[in-house]
Amino acid sequence: MGQLFCCLQVDQSNVAIREQFGKFDDVLEPGCHFLPWCLGSQVAGYLTLRVQQLDVRCETKTKDNVFVTVVASIQYRALADKASDAFYKLSNTKNQIQAYVFDVIRASVPKLNLDDAFEQKNEIAKAVEEELEKAMSAYGYEIVQTLIVDIEPDARVKQAMNEINAASRMRVAANEKAEAEKILQIKRAEGEAESKYLSGLGIARQRQAIVDGLRESVIAFSSNVPGTSAKDVMDMVLVTQYFDTMKEIGASAKSSSVFIPHGPGAVRDVASQIRDGLLQANLG
């Protein structure tokens, strides 16, 4: 109906290409336009000025001979002041962009190892964007953004990488566990050494107390009983301790057999027998 009354409506974010007798005449912006078709004016087509997106999947290989699929996302739009170039110079914009993306990716990724390709995604995207901007600006298009959204290695390569990562983490865990056990053993040894040191210190103090007690007993007995010598007192003390020990051994349910030279009719020689036993033990 609009063509019948020589009127044309162009929607927002679009432009129309007007021709007169088959020759480019003007770019019609959004709004209502007078189009005298009887004078040879007609609309050759419409061109959107909105940002469009093209996802490109490109298979290539890295420097270490790993085949990967690189997924690039290209955002582009036609320029209003170059709408005629964008409409007439390219017959298939998407195929043209895809060809440039293939060319740049297959020239960039083979120079990188697989790990470097993952780390340098931004550099690859920048190289693609620069090449596209340089090429597509001549055709009236602007490259808004270029993103490398994914790098997909072969499934077996992924599995191998996961196994390597798992083995590495297990090795770290084993080292940490070994270090923990080492620390426990060191602390346990330090505790045992400290325990033995304190035990020896206690035994030494116990013996010192016994010696001090015996000395005080000898001095007190010698002063209270005239005519006794220190040897007589020591003999009596040894005999007393001997019988106390025998009493404790006999009263214990878990006592061991102890063999000491002893005769019922020679109780007075107990002290000398104990000394002889100690001397024999020291010589042995």
Q: Is the pLDDT of residue 248 over 80?
A: no
Separation between Cα atoms, residue 37 and residue 44, nearest integer Å:
12
Buried/exposed 85-101: b ≥16 CB within 10 Å, e otherwise: bbbeebeebeebbbebb
Separation between Cα atoms, residue 122 and residue 104, nearest integer Å:
13
Strand bridging mode 7-10 / 31-34: antiparallel
Higher-pLDDT residue of 4 and 207 is: 207
Phi, psi angle pair for 204, to nearest 5° = -60, -40
- DSSP-assigned letter for residue 30: S
Are 138 and 79 contacting, i.e. CB atoms less than 8 angstroms apart?
no
pLDDT at 266: 46
Dump pLDDT digits (tens) for 13-34: 899 988 888 888 888 888 888 8
Query: How far is the CA of 10 from the CAs of 21, 167, 194, in angstroms?
Result: 21, 63, 94
Dump pLDDT digits (tens) for 143-174: 999 999 988 887 777 777 777 777 887 888 88
Q: Is-above-0.85 flag for pTM?
A: no
Name the nearest CA neighbour of 131 among 111, 109, 89, 102: 102
- DSSP-assigned letter for residue 90: -
Strand bridging mode 41-48 / 14-20: antiparallel
pLDDT tier for residue 213 given thresholds of 50, 70 and 90: confident
For residue 64, which amino acid is it? D
- DSSP-assigned letter for residue 120: T
Q: Name the burial class of residue 105, with classes exposed (0-12), middle (13-18) and buried (19+) by CB atoms within 10 angstroms of its CB.
A: buried
Are 186 and 194 contacting, i.e. CB atoms less than 8 angstroms apart?
no
Separation between Cα atoms, residue 13 and residue 11, nearest integer Å:
7
pLDDT at 264: 45
- Token pair 């798992």 is found at 166
The length of the chain, given as a count of residues: 284
Separation between Cα atoms, residue 252 and residue 25, nearest integer Å:
125
